[in-house]
């Protein structure tokens, strides 16, 4: 009788654990889908960037020719408001200030330029950024989030 009771308890534990796992997975999938619908991506009308402003990755799969290239575009947002400069230099003309938390189209690679101190760091890396109809440069050390858009 004791073995039977222990066996039933063990089966019931596994059963309720499985129900809990399924319920947690369901709840998580629901929260992920609802947060995705709650914060839609901001539409961005950006001209097609020049080849210097996109990442090129070689594609070597058959039957694609060896010289084929896939082009990718990116976007980023900055932790603080950052200067949008004409050149990647601290003394370059400031075109505008990009507000914090604003998603903007950017190059998929960082570039080097003049050294600066911003957002608590000193660096010489810059992001090429598209803002209000013009390409320019902003401090890479202030990038909070970055992602491929295509």
**Number of C-alpha atoms within 13 angstroms, CB side, residue 23?**
6
Beta strands in 27-133 (DSSP E): 55-58, 69-72, 74-78, 82-85, 94-98, 103-106, 111-118, 121-131
User: Residue 22's pLDDT is what?
Assistant: 57
32-52 average pLDDT score = 47
At 130-144, the pLDDT tens digits run: 999 999 999 999 999
What whole-number percentage of the chain has pLDDT above 90? 46
Checking if the pLDDT of 100 tops 70, the result is yes
14-35 average pLDDT score = 57
Token pair in block for residue 139: 């401090």
Checking if the pLDDT of 52 tops 50, the result is no
Q: Which range has the worst mean pLDDT, 1-5, 9-13, 32-36? A: 32-36
Checking if the pLDDT of 1 tops 60, the result is no
| In the chain, domain spans | 72-148
Look at domain 72-148 and name its CATH class.
mainly beta
Q: Identify the residue whose tokens are 């491929």.
A: 148
Checking if the pLDDT of 65 tops 60, the result is no
User: Residue 16's pLDDT is what?
Assistant: 62
Q: Which of 5-9, 18-22, 82-86 is most confident?
A: 82-86
């Amino acid at each position: 009788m004791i073995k039977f009771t222990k066996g039933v308890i063990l089966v019931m534990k596994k059963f309720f654990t499985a129900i809990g796992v399924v319920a947690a997975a369901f709840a998580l999938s629901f929260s992920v889908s609802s947060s995705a619908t709650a914060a839609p991506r901001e539409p961005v009308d950006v001209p097609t960037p020049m080849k210097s402003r996109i990442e090129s990755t070689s594609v070597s799969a058959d039957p694609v020719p060896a010289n084929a290239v896939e082009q990718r575009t990116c976007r980023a947002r900055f932790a603080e408001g950052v200067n949008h400069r004409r050149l990647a230099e601290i003394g370059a003309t400031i075109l505008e200030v990009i507000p914090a938390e604003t998603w903007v189209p950017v190059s998929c690679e960082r570039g080097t330029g003049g050294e600066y101190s911003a957002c608590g760091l000193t660096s010489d890396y810059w992001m090429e950024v598209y803002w209000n109809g013009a390409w320019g440069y902003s401090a890479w050390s202030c990038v909070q989030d970055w992602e491929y858009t295509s």
